[in-house]
Every structure is written in C-alpha cells, then in structure tokens.
Amino acid sequence: MLVTKVIPQKRDPVKFNIYIDGEYFFALIPQDMEYFGIKEGKEVPEKTVAFIQKSLIYVQAQNVALGFIGYKMRTEKEVRQKLQERDFSEGVIQEVLNFLCEYKYTDDRDYAQRYIKERLRLNPRSAFALRMELLQRGVSDKICEEVLSETDFSEIDDAVMWLEKKTRGQWPPDEKKKKQLYGFLQRKGYAYGVIKDAFSEMDQKQGK
C-alpha cells in the first residue's frame, strides 16, 4: 500500500491526514507517523495499516463518540456528524456506530421516545412539529411514525394549555389577540382543526 499524500489537518495542525492509494485513511501525530514508518511516497504493509485502524484510530474514534454521548442522548446521525468533524474515515465511523448500536449506547427509537416525552412535559408541540424535529436530528421517518402512534397525548389538550398560558385567564380574547393566538399555535405545528377545537374547549371551560 502506497502513502500517496500527507497533509496537515486544518482543524488540528498537530495531526496529519494520511492518504493511501489515493484514499483518506486516518490522521496521525508525527510521533506515530515516525513509529509506523508513514511517509509520503513510501510503501506501508497492509497489516500495519490494519493495526493502526483497529488498535489506534478506532479507539480514538470510540472515545470521542462515548464522550459525545456521555452527557446527553444523541442520535446515530449526530454521532456520525461528530466523528466526521474529527476527520475519521467512514469505515472507522461505521465500526464505532455498530459498536454503539450493539451495546445500546445509541438507540434512535429510545431517543425518540424520550425526546417526545420531555418535549411534551416542558414545551408541547404538535405531532407534526415533533416529527419534523426528530427528522432533523436524524431519526428515520419510520421510527418517528411508530413512536408518535404509540405516544398517549392529545394535541387539543396541549393547544388548550398554550391558550391558557398565553391569555392568563383573560378569555375570550378580542379579534386581534385571537389572530395572534391562531398564528402562535400554527407556528407550533397545530392544524387548523385542532386550533379550532382548542378555542371551542376554552369557550366551554370559561362558560362563554
């Protein structure tokens, strides 16, 4: 295997990106390059490259991933992006993700369940808005649909809660305030029918 290019990393100038046979493999510090005989234009044994990937680079990537998820739940997509930012190769990244999935360090279904539960507790959203937020974080559409269908919550009740919070007992609102409330709930992702039902429920609760 031929080392075709060695260039300093932009993110971390202490490390050098190593390209072998025209393909990016890993990044090493000068001491490791010297130890393993990595030099541009020089042949390197395949077993040496394999050893570096499995015994050095993989461990580094695994430590980065475990540190990243150590204080907050992450989706597979978020972990992948983190490792890509640190210039690990796709092969190493996939191995780390396989390890994380196997030992349940990452679990997009569990992430979605916890995310929805926490969102509904602290800052309710419509099912549509929750789905969009999860999709943006890399949770698959299938998992989003399944978890949302299993979740016991009422969009109307949540919308009513927002109306109560925003009006603070001042009901019914005037036309200007009503339009503002409609717009607010629409931005939260609630459908027109849900908003209409929430207003009706508020009217009934307030005896109007």
Using pLDDT thresholds of 50, 70 and 90, give the confidence band for residue 137: very high
C-alpha span between 103 and 82 (Å, rounded): 19
Mean pLDDT of 100-129: 89
Residue 104 Cα distances to 69, 73, 74, 93, 109, angstroms: 11, 11, 12, 16, 11
Would you state the pLDDT for residue 208? Answer: 54
Q: What is the mean pLDDT of residues 194-199?
A: 87
Least confident of 35-39, 74-78, 148-152: 148-152
CA-based radius of gyration for the chain = 26
Of the ranges 33-37, 56-60, 104-108, 197-201, which one carries the lowest mean pLDDT score? 197-201
pLDDT of residue 108: 94
pLDDT surpasses 80 at 206? no
Domain 3-102 is found in CATH 1.10.10.10: yes
Asked whether the beta carbons of 88 and 61 are under 8 A apart, the reply is yes
Domain ranges of the chain: 3-102, 108-150, 155-205
pLDDT over 90 percentage in the chain: 41
What does the pLDDT read at residue 207?
62
| pLDDT of res. 3 | 93
